[in-house]
Each structure stands twice: as C-alpha cells, then as structure tokens.
Structure 1
Amino acid sequence: MAISLGYNQYGKAEVRLVHIDRSTSVHQIKDVNVTSQLTGDFTATHLTGDNSAVIATDTQKNTVYALARLHGVGPIEEFALRMARYFVDKYPQVKGSRQEVEEYSWNRISSAAGGPHDHAFTRGSAEVRTTVVTKHGAGEAIISGLRELTVLKSTGSEFHGFPQVEYTSLIETSDRILATAVCARWRYLGVEHVSIQGS
C-alpha cells in the first residue's frame, strides 16, 4: 500500500498585537490578531521527524512582532502582504504563505478641552476588519472584508407591495426601523493597489 503526503500547511494562530505609534504627540493604535501559515517541502518533517527545514511557530510569532516594530502596522492588507513576502523571500524551503489578519477598532476619548484626546482610547464597535493574503511563488492574492458590522436606520425604510397570501401576517408599511448585521468580503484585482512602505 503506497502512502503519499498531500497538501499541508502549518503555522501560528492567535498572535495578538497592539501597536502604538508614538512618533507624534497624537498616538495611533492598531489592534490586530494574526494567523501565519506556511507551505513548502516539509516532507521529511512529517515522514522522519527531521525538523531542519521547519520555521518554528514561535519564530513566526516573533516575526509578526518584529515586522510591526520595524515598519509599523498600517493598513492590514499592507501588513499581511509584507509578512507573506518576508517568509517566502527569506526561507527557500517556504514556497507559500497565508497571512490572516483581523483588526479591532478603537476610538479616541474626548479630552477635557472638548476635542479628541491625543492618547486615550475606548474600544470601538464590534466591527472586525479582515484580510487574508496568500503568496505562492510570485503569485499573490488579497481578500479583505468586514464582519459584525451592525447598522440601523431609524426611518426612511419601507416594505409594501408584496403578495398577501394565506400565510402572510406581515402588515405593509411605508416607514419602519431597519437594522441588520453586515458581513462582506472583496478580492483585490492585484496587489499593485496595496503599497508596501518601508520594505
């Protein structure tokens, strides 16, 4: 009976990073959660236990922190693309990289003077910005999105003119409250739309 090793990847999930840019008196905060996954020729690892080609998951975690320290975080698409390129370009045995980033929002607290505070924040809405960047050789792809965005319209929504059948109990209305949760994803047509500053 022949056994063959199929497609596989490994990596580090749930790398939490809060990066605060203190380069000016008005601080900027980025709060992200990163999952880093690598693919390549790791057959010896799986078949004989030879880990000489493996980039340790601890190294992947520390690379996330190091690249944030060196270049900042910026837009999450830019950050994920920088990480994907780093792993594939740095390690010859790594043929592909998948970097997933979730971003959580923070809002500035009002200062005593009435404007936004320079360095005090409160957690923002439940909305989460997302991106997944994959790199295999020279090929690169970016899919971004958002989830858990709740929106409400208190007037100006209507629903009428629908069929009233035997099982319809909904009353037609020309004004109602509309609330919904939004989850959306989009694919970039090319990575040239994402600038990588500092690399």
Structure 2
Amino acid sequence: MSSTLSSARYGKDNVRVYKVQRNEDGTQDVTEMTVCTLLEGDIAASWTHSDNANIVATDTQKQTVYITAKQHPVNPPELFASILSQHYIDTYPRITAAHVDVIVHRWTRMEVEGKPHPHSFFRDGAETRVVGAVARRDKGIDVKSGIKGLLVLKSTGSQFWGFHRDEYTQLPETWDRILSTEVEAAWNWKTFTGLEEVQKEVAGFDQAWKDARRITMETFAKENSPSVQNTMYLMSDQILAKVPRVESVEYSLPNKHYFEIDLSWHKGLKNTGKDAEVYAPQSDPNGLIQCTVTRQSSGAKL
C-alpha cells in the first residue's frame, strides 16, 4: 500500500444529558450537558482492514455516558469528565486515550415572590461552562476548564492608539471607544496522576471557574483598556496567581465593532466624536485576538 493511517479517533458527539438532584429539603437542582467522547488506541484495523474487533461502538459510548451520569456526580463537570474518560481506559484494554468534552448549559434558579423557587429555573444567557478531560493509559488525566459565550460590553473605557501605520492603514487612533466581545477562556490544570487526585480537587474546580469568571468581568469593566491584547493578558495573569494548580490560561476574544453613524447629512445632526449616541453594530468582519499565558516556572515567558 502507498499510504499509512497516521492518526485515528472516533466517538459519539452531541450526547444530551439532563440530571435532576432531589434534595432532602424538598428543593431540586438540575444540570444539563452536551457530551462528546472520542477514543484512540489499537483501532487502525477498522480503517485499513475493515476489522471492527477493537471498536467500542459509538452507541455503547453514548449509553456509557448515561449510566455514568446515573451512578456518579455530574458536578463539577471536571470530575464527571475525568470519571468517564478513565472508565474507557479501565474497561477497554485496546483503548489508550479517551477524550471527553462537556458543555454545561446554564440554568439559573428563579426567584418567585422574593424567594428562590425550589424547582423552577430559567436560561439567562448563552454562556456555557466547558470542560475537557483526556485520560491516557499510564499517563494520568489532563483537564481543561473554560468559559464560552459570555457576552460583555462597555460603552466607554477602551482605547486603541500608537499602532503601526502605513499606506494600507485607514483606522484612526481613539482614546475612547465601545468595547464588546464574546469571551472564550480556558485554563489548563497540571496533569493529575489519576482519579483519586482529581477527586481531591473537586472544590477547587468550582472555585476556579468562579474566580476566572469574576476576574474576567471585573478586569473588563474596571480596566481603562489600552488594547484587548493587554486586557486579556492581565486577566490571564490574575487567574494564574489565584489558582496555583493551573499551568496556563488561554483567551480568544473577538472584537465586536460598533461604528459611529455620520448623520450630518440630515439637517446637520451631530452624531460623531463626543456627540455620538447612535451606532451601527457590526457582525463581520471583526478583530480576533488570542493568547496563551503560561506560568513562568513551567514554560518560557511570553
């Protein structure tokens, strides 16, 4: 043969899971997730020789997600993803790596007549909590936590000036602009030796998510940002300082533009510069700024 299968993985995507927790005090908690499982290992023969003997069917993977959700906690999602990924390694000798990604959809408890309702919830935004766990045979478990879909905007307190200019540049410098973005942030934990070590970090996972979310929004709001680049670096640096077990932080921030509209053509109406009040939100094209900030002791300084 003139070709070689250089990599392969397969699994079940978009497994929707909802779990209700019935508490002794009569209240209920709910968790809704979308789960993706992908397996690697001694599976090449399925591609190259039509031999499925080592293939764990994707339907089996789906049923395993449901059973694991029934038999184990689904919160924090880092623990659930680790339990699930380790299960595939422990159960199937031919599987050498199991990837589990979890999206947690947002349900917030309602307040009715000024009190938290025991079993009613509402979706208060598109933001999701995301987790990825990879269990590798004899190599521990790698966990990545994050936030996606967190829309933020401030109407002032952002600048962008001093950038390179040449014959292709039309963008004017500005010392006051609208700043809006859809936050995609992730933090990578130091490799866990196994499930036992993951379980010891259970409280830390939720606290890290709360801290990262708070740091992101507070820094966004309070910083008179000279650039999206600088703001995201400050966010990353603070998360690393707050969560010692995290090795690196990643941000991907699209710059959602709002352009002034010149209305002077209509009876001299002023709507630019200090008089701007009405803007045209832009869907595309948009700026996209990304970075990875690594703890200095574990990698090269950026």
Structure 1 CA distance, aligned partners of 2:120 and 2:138?
42
In the superposition, the TM-score normalised over structure 2's length comes to 0.57
On the 8 A contact 1:104/1:124 being kept in 2, the answer is no
Deviations 1:53-104 (A, max 9, x none): 2111111001101011001301111111111100001111111101111111
On the 8 A contact 1:19/1:72 being kept in 2, the answer is no
On the 8 A contact 1:80/1:132 being kept in 2, the answer is yes
List gaps (5 residues or longer) in structure 2.
203-302
3-state secondary structure, aligned to 1:84: helix
3-state secondary structure, aligned to 2:125: strand
On the 8 A contact 1:21/1:72 being kept in 2, the answer is no
3-state secondary structure, aligned to 1:191: coil
Greater strand percent: which structure?
1
3-state secondary structure, aligned to 1:12: strand
User: Which residue does the alignment assign to 2:67?
Assistant: 66
Q: Which moved more, 1:182-191 or 1:60-69?
A: 182-191
Given the superposition, is the C-alpha separation of residues 161 and 88 from structure 1 closer, same or farther in structure 2, using an over 3 Å criterion? closer
In the superposition, the TM-score normalised over structure 1's length comes to 0.84
Given the superposition, is the C-alpha separation of residues 54 and 70 from structure 1 closer, same or farther in structure 2, using an over 3 Å criterion? same
1:194 aligns with 2:195: no
3-state secondary structure, aligned to 1:85: helix
Deviation of the 1:147 alpha carbon: 1.3
Deviation of the 1:6 alpha carbon: 2.1
Structure 1 CA distance, aligned partners of 2:143 and 2:174?
44
Structure 1 CA distance, aligned partners of 2:159 and 2:10?
49
On the 8 A contact 2:160/2:173 being kept in 1, the answer is no
Structure 1 CA distance, aligned partners of 2:97 and 2:142?
12
What are the within-5 Å matches in structure 2 for residues 1-199 of structure 1? 1-24=1-24, 25-112=26-113, 114-139=114-139, 140-153=141-154, 157=157, 159=159, 169=172, 172-173=175-176, 178-191=179-192, 194-195=198-199
On the 8 A contact 2:162/2:173 being kept in 1, the answer is no
Greater helix percent: which structure?
2
Given the superposition, is the C-alpha separation of residues 190 and 171 from structure 1 closer, same or farther in structure 2, using an over 3 Å criterion? closer
Structure 2 CA distance, aligned partners of 1:107 and 1:126?
12
Counterpart amino acid of residue 12 in structure 2: K
What count of residue pairs does the alignment treat as equivalent? 192
Given the superposition, is the C-alpha separation of residues 123 and 94 from structure 1 closer, same or farther in structure 2, using an over 3 Å criterion? same
Deviation of the 1:170 alpha carbon: 5.7
Counterpart amino acid of residue 195 in structure 1: Q
Q: What RMSD, in angstroms, separates the aligned Cα atoms of the two structures?
A: 2.5
Deviation of the 1:30 alpha carbon: 1.0
Structure 2 CA distance, aligned partners of 1:160 and 1:99?
40
Counterpart amino acid of residue 102 in structure 1: I
Structure 1 CA distance, aligned partners of 2:182 and 2:135?
31
Structure 1 CA distance, aligned partners of 2:47 and 2:179?
53
Higher relative contact order (CA 8 A, sep 6+): 1
On the 8 A contact 1:84/1:99 being kept in 2, the answer is yes
Structure 2 CA distance, aligned partners of 1:6 and 1:134?
20
Counterpart amino acid of residue 152 in structure 2: V
Given the superposition, is the C-alpha separation of residues 183 and 43 from structure 1 closer, same or farther in structure 2, using an over 3 Å criterion? closer
List gaps (5 residues or longer) in structure 1.
none
Counterpart amino acid of residue 187 in structure 2: W
Structure 2 CA distance, aligned partners of 1:27 and 1:181?
31
On the 8 A contact 1:109/1:116 being kept in 2, the answer is yes
Q: Which moved more, 1:144-153 or 1:67-76?
A: 144-153
Structure 2 CA distance, aligned partners of 1:168 and 1:40?
51
